Structure 1
Amino acid sequence: MAPPRSNTRAKRAAAAAAGPDKRARTAQEGPPDPPPAGAPDASADAPADAPDALPPLPGRFLDLYTAAPRVGDDPALHGGRERVLAHVDGLWPTHAYVDWRPSADDADALEAVVETVGAPHSLVRSSVGVPLPLHVSLSDTLQLQAADRDAFVGDVRAALAELESPPPLALDGAVWVANSTRTRFFLALTVDAAGREALAPVLAAVNTAAARRGLAQLSGRFHVSIGWTLDEPDEAAVAGVADSVASLGLAVAVGAVKVRVGQTVHSLALGGL
């Protein structure tokens, strides 16, 4: 039996069967010529709703990843930060707040304040420049019993349903705010008097639910933390920018109240929404 023909011989046979015209075209074909200089880019004519123009992620998606994975309580793993509340099995850390995701321009203005004051750590963007969510707290970190989780969220939800949504909260000053053990200091922008008054009924809804369970209530010193330090801060530096904050025109829209229980975030609408 004759050995099989090599691939080269098979290709030659196929080319011969195709005829002279086919062979001529194949010999002349090569990579396509580039478009002439100045020719319009065909991709520029693609419609705005082309398949690669993806829609924005729904707001609920952003609530799924609000905390980094737990890596232990060693301060060396957290930039020197120390845990203020010890982890206790059966208790669920709970925090109520108004979420704020600044625009790019607002984030630039906030970063400028952080740099001017000299806060070594920013809460506005990550170390690789990714925008971070900010917030106005409506509670301290509360430690809920497991059996109280659903009832607490339900109480806050029911109270908020009776309230109108307040107008945007204007930020008009800057201060340093220490944690309860004075081991960490936050550079914070304060909510103006009109915003504090408008947000008071919302705070009352959260405080009432906390008081029913014997938990601490928050006072109305509303603010947005934008940076932090472990060292005693320079009060003179923050005083130098406090008066200029109002001119930045920063305001926090109150779209909903968020209640984070453990790693689960509940978005609670106000009655006017």
Structure 2
Amino acid sequence: MALVDYTSSDEAETASIGKAEPPGPSSLKRKREAQDDGDLPPLPSKFHDLYASSARVSTRDDPSLHDGRKRVTPHIEGNWPTHIYVEWCPLPAEYTLLNKLTTKLKGASSSNDAASNIHSFLISDLGAPLPLHISLSRPIGFLTESKDDFLLSLQQSVKKSDIRPFKITCSGLAWVANFEKTRWFLVLSLRKPSNDGLNKMLHLSNRVVQEYGQPPLYINPLPVDISRHTGAPRAAQYNATGRKSSAQQHSEPRWDNLQDLSNAFHISIAWTLSQPDTKLQTITESLATEFLDDLQKSPIDITEVKAKVGNVVNSLPLMSRILQGQNLFEG
């Protein structure tokens, strides 16, 4: 089992040596006040990556094990399921706000089962808060011999892009169906960031997955060969060693044909198998005004892209802006 590297507790303790003040009345008072306020130190940024997958309890698709959900993308033996996304770990106050929202919707009276059967994405079965995400790909899959090369291509494309860390804010609340209309999701829609970072990241992700014969997200796919159905790499792009030819490797992205798909980006916070009726839709719209004002006060920082391949989550940081060519003696 592969482990994600993270700062150990020993390193954290070593770093704090020499900085901690001796215990006294003032320090103990601050500690008690922090506990009374419910403030807890944040988890390491990579903590959730270690537990990104639940235990597999069946070798076949069994909706009874997943609250009635059916697998949309069939599992192919030997394929590594893959997903590209941006992650958001809400602050405790934001979790409380979102939980209050879903609880109110669950309690809403409705002529169908949508309200009573709303399932939250916010909390695990054990009661732990879960990270949310913005999808940058469909659920896709790769054979063992191509998954590492795909990940390398994605890493290099992100590294060579001009996408810098940015902030996003929520703009609305709505119910939307998946492509197959087998589930409906309660989603937070997002405002277009100033640097158009979401559209650029989607463009980059779609370009890389299509190079490997995989279907893109939100747009029509480019013509590809039959390998797209097996998860195998496109042979025309590979040399005898199975690696990409030098002409194809990690070219810098171009934004000339960048599409504006801002209306498609969203963060799912709950789901239901039943289509929400008009009454539940109306209740959702009324609650949007109540909750969005508070959510918009804390913009979401986007600093990295994540690619989950199998059970391993890979973090791909966006490049921080670097000032170049500035003379220290210039005013």
Fold shared by both chains (TM-score > 0.5)? yes
Identify which of 55, 64, 68 aligns with 1:76.
64
What displacement does 1:146 show? 2.2
Query: Within 5 A, what are the aligned runs for 1:135-146?
Result: 135-146=133-144
Greater CA deviation, 147-156 or 118-127? 118-127
Identify which of 309, 312, 317 aligns with 1:264.
312
Gaps of 5+ in 2: 1-23, 32-39, 107-114, 219-260, 322-331
Query: Within 5 A, what are the aligned runs for 1:72-221?
Result: 72=58, 73-118=61-106, 119=115, 120-161=118-159, 162-194=161-193, 197-219=196-218, 220=261, 221=264
Paired residue for 1:239?
285
Residues of 1 paired with 2:287 and 2:49: CA distance? 32
TM-score by length of 1: 0.74
CA 1:211 to 1:188, structure 2 compared with 1: closer, same or farther past 3 Å? same
Amino acid at match of 2:315: S
Amino acid at match of 2:305: V
Can you list the C-alpha shifts for 1:192-240, whole angstroms capped at 9, x where unaligned?
A: 1336933111111111111102211123311110011111113323333
CA 1:228 to 1:208, structure 2 compared with 1: closer, same or farther past 3 Å? same
Can you list the C-alpha shifts for 1:85-123, whole angstroms capped at 9, x where unaligned?
A: 121112211101111110110111111222333352111
Greater CA deviation, 79-88 or 125-134? 125-134
State the Cα RMSD in Å.
2.7
Amino acid at match of 1:229: T
SS of equivalent to 1:69: coil
TM-score by length of 2: 0.62
Paired residue for 2:267?
224
Paired residue for 2:46?
60
Paired residue for 2:231?
none
CA contact (8 A) 2:192 2:198 kept: no
Identify which of 295, 299, 317 aligns with 1:251.
299
Amino acid at match of 2:104: T
Residues of 2 paired with 1:268 and 1:158: CA distance? 9
Amino acid at match of 2:193: A
What displacement does 1:261 show? 0.6
CA contact (8 A) 1:171 1:245 kept: no
Paired residue for 2:239?
none
Percent identity of equivalent pairs: 35
Amino acid at match of 2:274: D
